Amino acid sequence: MTMAYLSIVGLKKSFRKHEVLRNINLQVEKGEFVCFLGASGCGKTTLLRIIAGLERMDEGDIVVDGRNISRLRPSKRNLSMVFQSYALFPNMTAFQNVEYGLRKKIKDKEKRKELVELMLALVGLSDVRKKYPDQLSGGQQQRVSLARALVIEPDLLLLDEPLSALDPKVRESLRGEIKATHDKLRITTIMVTHDQEEAITMGDKLAVMNEGEIVQFGTPIEVYRAPRDYFVADFVGKINFLTDKKNVTWMIRPEDVECYTEPREGTLAGTIANIEFRGPFYRLTVALSRHTILIDLFSKDIEKRAFKLHDPIHVRLHRAEGLG
């Protein structure tokens, strides 16, 4: 068996008696963009900090490109980390902030300048290279952080909720920029987030975490379409749980329901208990005989068919692949 680029084996961590990482095993391929996704307190930041060497683990090994880095100091690991807060040097310009990490690595000043300029251009900051952090917007500051992290050509880029302090518009555009930058440089990246939409749109793979464990590792489509357990199903996207008469639980995504005004073969009858406008789609709450379910319908469809509150409705359910 060939070893993955990043390999984490049997990692455990407790703070005093509190076990925060139980038994972490993870294999990441070179160039992959992996998102750690999970609720607050599940151990995402702790795991990232352990990889970076900022926190000690109790047991386990971390191997990057065949090199066991488990016991190396952070500065010897050749990794970069970007935090939620921008953590820039306030007394340095954007250019100087990016240049800072290169000082030890590259002595030739011209060569250094060239690399910094290249990186600033890549993240779209050439125009503001002479500005200080307090003269930059949040989004620009985070791009400086990113450029500073990337310019040293790290073996691994570690991002801890890098977008969560930004407003939604900036956040969305930066998502795209981070991905585009990753596509160009192909630096193996791990990004922590508790935002499932962010994880789904950005990650090549998701590691869904719950209470100190990775409960599922796979592509966003695998995780969404074939969740391994109820926790994953419920955490990534909306899902309906229905138990049939034999006590088997079905999972049905709100978008996997066909709706009709008249009964058809295999449909169940219900009543529309609530209609919520969400912009591109409507979310209907439908009362069936034994369950209440959520259904998402494209706005165009529902407006065309004029479903109204308290109307009867006939639904055909398509279960998700995962359990049940």
Structure tokens at 125: 């900051």
* Range in contact with Mg ion (rule: CB under 5 A) among 41-49, 235-243, 295-303, 309-317: 41-49
Residue 312 interacts with which of Mg ion, ligand ATP, none, CB < 5 to 8 Å by class = none
Q: How far is the CB of 164 from ligand ATP (least distance, A)?
A: 9
Q: Which residues contact 164 (CB under 8 A, 6 or more apart)?
A: 84, 171, 193, 195
Q: How far is the CB of 5 from ligand ATP (least distance, A)?
A: 23
Looking only at residues 223 through 252 of this chain, which bind ligand ATP when binding is defined by CB under 6 A?
none
Per CB under 5 A, 97 contacts Mg ion: no
Q: How far is the CB of 124 from ligand ATP (least distance, A)?
A: 28
Residue 20 zone, left/alpha/beta (φ > 0; ψ -120 to 50; rest): alpha
Residue 139 interacts with which of ligand ATP, Mg ion, none, CB < 5 to 8 Å by class = none
Tell me which residue of 230, 228, 214, 220 sits closest to 195, measured CA to CA: 220
Give the number of residues in contact with ligand ATP, rule: CB under 6 A. Answer: 11
Q: Which residues contact 202 (CB under 8 A, 6 or more apart)?
A: 33, 35, 175, 178, 179, 191, 193
Residue 40 interacts with which of ligand ATP, Mg ion, none, CB < 5 to 8 Å by class = ligand ATP
Q: How far is the CB of 51 from ligand ATP (least distance, A)?
A: 12
Q: Give the x/- contact pattern for ligand ATP in 135-174, rule: CB under 6 A.
A: ----------------------------------------
In the chain, which ranges are E strands?
6-15, 18-28, 33-38, 59-64, 67-68, 79-82, 156-160, 189-193, 205-210, 213-218, 240-243, 249-252, 257-260, 268-277, 281-287, 292-298, 312-317
Query: Alpha-carbon Rg of the chain, whole angstroms?
Result: 24
Looking only at residues 167 through 196 of this chain, which bind ligand ATP when binding is defined by CB under 6 A?
194
Rounded to the nearest 5 percent, the helix, strand and coil shares of the chain are 30, 30, 40
Cβ distance to ligand ATP smaller for residue 16 or 246: 16
Q: How far is the CB of 160 from Mg ion (least distance, A)?
A: 6
Looking only at residues 191 through 220 of this chain, which bind ligand ATP when binding is defined by CB under 6 A?
194
Cβ distance to ligand ATP smaller for residue 43 or 254: 43
Per CB under 6 A, 46 contacts ligand ATP: yes
Member of 45, 140, 142, 216 binding Mg ion (CB under 5 A)? 45
Shortest Cβ contact with Mg ion: which residue? 45
Where does residue 311 rank: exposed (0-12), middle (13-18), buried (19+ CB within 10 A)?
middle
Q: How far is the CB of 149 from ligand ATP (least distance, A)?
A: 19
Where does residue 279 rank: exposed (0-12), middle (13-18), buried (19+ CB within 10 A)?
exposed
Per CB under 6 A, 58 contacts ligand ATP: no
Q: Which residues contact 236 (CB under 8 A, 6 or more apart)?
A: 37, 196, 199, 200, 206, 208, 223, 224, 227
* Range in contact with ligand ATP (rule: CB under 6 A) among 44-52, 148-156, 272-280, 309-317: 44-52
Residue 42 interacts with which of ligand ATP, Mg ion, none, CB < 5 to 8 Å by class = ligand ATP
Task: Let me know: does 142 contact 148? Beta carbons within 8 Å.
Answer: no
Q: Which positions lie near Mg ion, rule CB under 5 A?
A: 45
Question: Which residues bind to ligand ATP, rule: CB under 6 A?
Answer: 15, 20, 38, 40-46, 194
